[in-house]
Every structure is written in structure tokens, then in C-alpha cells.
Amino acid sequence: MDECLPGALVAALTAAGHDAVWVSDLQRGADDNTVLEQAVTAERILVTEDNDFSALVFAAEVKAIGIVRVEPKGISGGIKAFVPGVVRALCEADTAFAGMLTVVEPGRIRQRPLPGAGS
């Protein structure tokens, strides 16, 4: 999980049975390319609030296993208030996250295949 997300989300996903690792615990302040490289090496889906990762993958063709972008649109209190909704959405989603850009918003999940997914 990207360091832009609160530790409460890492803890909540871990409590829900996910193997969540926070960038802040590994390498605080790492640039986006390094974060993506580490996620690919560890074969992890990157969860972030930062749209820059999508740009890296789609425009610069940097490899990613999968990206989940959290967008707390319209949520009073921002991402911290959206933590329960994100956990619920990810745990209840009837979808795969590998090979996909997944956008989690209040009330919906959107997906788009990453470049090279499935090839």
C-alpha cells in the first residue's frame, strides 16, 4: 500500500485477512517508480490514492501487477473516513485485481486492463 494511504487502511485490510504491506514501513519517501518496482518484485497489487501510478503504467509503460486506486469522492473526512468502504468493496468484490487498474469510489468499482495484461 502506498504511503499516501493511512495506516488504518493497512490495519483494516490485514484484519480482514489480506496480506497488506505499507510502503511507509519499508521505504518511506520512495519515488513512484521504486514503489512500482518493489510491488512487481514482490508480486503485489499496489493500493494507492495517487493517480500518478496510472500515468506511469499507461503512458510510460512501466510494469505493474495490478493497481487499486482509492477515490473518496464526496466523502466528508476524505480517505480516513472512507477506510471501511474501501475494505468492504475490496473484500466483497466479485472480481480479480491482478492485471487491472481498479478504481474504488463510494458505491462503485471500475476496472480497466493494464497494458500487456493477459499476454
Any idea where the domains of the chain sit in the sequence? 7-113
Mean pLDDT over all residues of the chain? 87
All three cell numbers of 36:
512500482
52-64 burial by CB neighbour count: b if 16+ within 10 A, else e?
A: ebbebbeeeebeb
Closest CA to 8 of 20, 43, 107, 68: 20
Torsion-angle region of 37 (φ positive above 0: left; ψ -120 to 50: alpha; else: beta): alpha
Question: Percentage of residues in the chain with pLDDT exceeding 70?
Answer: 97
pLDDT at 99: 94
pLDDT in tens, 61-116: 888 999 999 988 777 777 778 888 888 888 887 778 999 999 998 888 999 999 97
- When pLDDT is cut at 50, 70 and 90, the band that residue 26 belongs to is confident
Rounded Cα–Cα distance for residues 16 and 95 (Å) = 17
Strands 67-70 and 108-113: unpaired
- Asked if residue 23 lies in contact with residue 44, where contact means CB atoms within 8 angstroms, the answer is no
pLDDT at 118: 57
Rounded Cα–Cα distance for residues 48 and 98 (Å) = 15
pLDDT at 107: 85
- Asked if residue 79 lies in contact with residue 6, where contact means CB atoms within 8 angstroms, the answer is yes
